[in-house]
Amino acid sequence: MEASAHGISIGNWEEVGVRVAELRRRAGLSRKALAKQLDISLWTLEEVENGRKDAGPYADSITRVLGLPLKLKVTTVPSSEFAEAPSASDSFATRAREVVRPASGRELVLGSIALLVLIRFFTEVVPIVPRAGNVIDIPILTVLAIAAMARGRQALGNGYIAVALPAAVFFGICALSAMLNLSRVAPGPVLVFIYGFLSPLAVYAAVYRLWPPGNAISMSRLFVWLGVVQLAVVFTIDLPKFIVSGDPDVISGTFGTNQYQFVFFLLLFTGLIAGIFTAEPRRLAARAAPVLVLLALASILLAQYRALLVTTAVSLLLVAALLSKRRRGVISAAVVLISFVIALGYVTTHFPALHFGTTIATLAHKPGFYLSQRMEVARPVAHLYTDDPTFIPLGTGPGTFSSRGWQTFALARSTSRSNAVGPYVSALTGGHVYHTDVSDKYVLPQRGIVVQGSGQLRSPQFEYVSLLAEVGVFGFLMILAVYVLAAVRSVRQAATALSRATPGDPLPALLIASAVAFTALLQMGFLDNWLEVTRLTFVSWALLAVAQKELDSREGQ
């Protein structure tokens, strides 16, 4: 063992931390209260309690507040020499509670996120797993829920209560809307619709219960490595294909045939790296931040084919605004924004097939052109409401208009590369093509309209439109409330954490990534039914749950 300057061996840091945490709880103190009495930061106390920091420098204060023996300062102390040492059975139970179970919960959460991000690489790019693996979100949710329930009842914090209420009301609206439209709805689309919108909140609840506080760095490291994997795939596999084919859809990292999910993840990754550069300057990721950010933004531009250009710009401006609260953050914000300008200029010049030049010119001369074209998709809902005003409050029924619940069954025969579940749905329904009177009249006539070479602008897949049509104004407002509350909470907490953070604290970067995730999702809802895509929403809500659990632990909730 290597001895510290205060005589505590590195091998005993974890044991000392467990004991400090145990006696803090016995004293009825939150981490925030104890940190204040010790005159240290919450981050420092968290590091001590998790065995990653030498408690020796704080021994006098710890002894005074918690009653730990002074011996702690000058010698290696086995657990049996601490005051009020537990019995052998108590010690075993404590260790199982404090070490084994938290570790298993952490690994389960991290493994679930990694699977969600990586699975499509192995089902579509290097197809060694059947494409049925793309619906791995269902078994992941099941496992997380079972593991969380095995932990017993636990409070989920005030943050969950705020979003759970509108979510519960939304569920009631879905049930009522389905009952009022029994002749129009079908069980499969209804269930897929409800699952798409509400399962992410179940993930939040499960992850919050499973996550052991004090492990924010583990989540941060996972996202860094997953981001590096994306860049490695892009520049070794995707880019050569793109150069040969000129097809930007092949730029998708580990997200297979869906480059939009890939772009979303890289936006989250960029926010995280910028946060690490600002608050954790000693990490390797911080030293590599300028290169990682530049490569990530170049990959985003290569992949998105203009559709997410505004979302990318807004997300980066949000990151810059958050980072500007710290002196080093100003440098980080400058790096992010300059990298975006450099990447956009390079891609526009060297890859004219992506038509970024045309897009930029249109935005400069007609700033509202793309928004006006996208809002044309909302006209059919206005006609729907005019034709039958009874649809205004509760809609035509879940899965009846243009939601992902409707797409899953109505477009099961689509030959699109991204239609991973179509063959399985067709087999389940015996080849029956699902349709409704409202989708036949208001949705299908819009399919295939192309504007400036893109079908995305006039695509009838539009989250807010589908909600307004299928569950009416009330259902739309409830889901909007859920995501706006999550976004506002993430942004506020990120700003607060950055202003208070001590060097090396990983939580501010995670909160920045969470803020980017939810603000990007709200914007992506204008482009397609992205609030129902679990590969995006599960990751976002799991990230928020981890950040919230870490914050609540520090605040003593």
Whether residue 511 contacts residue 519, with contact meaning beta carbons closer than 8 Å, is answered with no
Q: Tell me how far apart the alpha carbons of residues 296 and 266 are, in angstroms, rounded to a whole number.
A: 6
Residue located via tokens 């010049």: 349
More confident residue, 332 or 455: 332
Q: Model confidence at 100, in pLDDT bands (50, 70, 90)?
A: very low
Instruction: Tell me the CA distances in angstroms from 483 to 144, 163, 459, 523, one per residue in order.
Output: 22, 8, 23, 11
How confident is the model over 441-459, as a mean pLDDT? 73
DSSP string, 423-457: HHHHHHHTTPPP--HHHHHHTGGGTT--BTTBSST
Q: Where are the domains of the chain?
A: 10-85, 216-367+502-542
Confidence of residue 168 (pLDDT cuts 50, 70, 90): very high
Q: What does the pLDDT look like over 27-57, one tens digit per residue?
A: 777 777 777 777 777 777 777 777 767 777 7
Nearest by Cα to 458 from 473, 469, 466, 447: 447
pLDDT tens track for 426-443: 667 666 778 899 999 999
> Of 64-68, 284-288, 321-325, which range is least confident?
64-68
**pTM score of the predicted model:** 0.82
User: pLDDT band at 513, cuts 50/70/90?
Assistant: very high
Pick the CATH number of 10-85 from 3.40.50.300, 1.10.8.60, 1.20.1530.20, 1.10.260.40: 1.10.260.40
User: Which DSSP string do the residues of 105-117 spell out, in sequence order?
Assistant: HHHHHHHHHHHHH
pLDDT at 4 over 80: no
Higher pLDDT, 480 or 414: 480
Could you report the per-residue pLDDT of 50-89, keeping only the tens digit for each?
A: 776 777 777 777 777 776 654 554 344 444 333 344 444 4
Residue bearing the bigger pLDDT, 335 or 362: 335
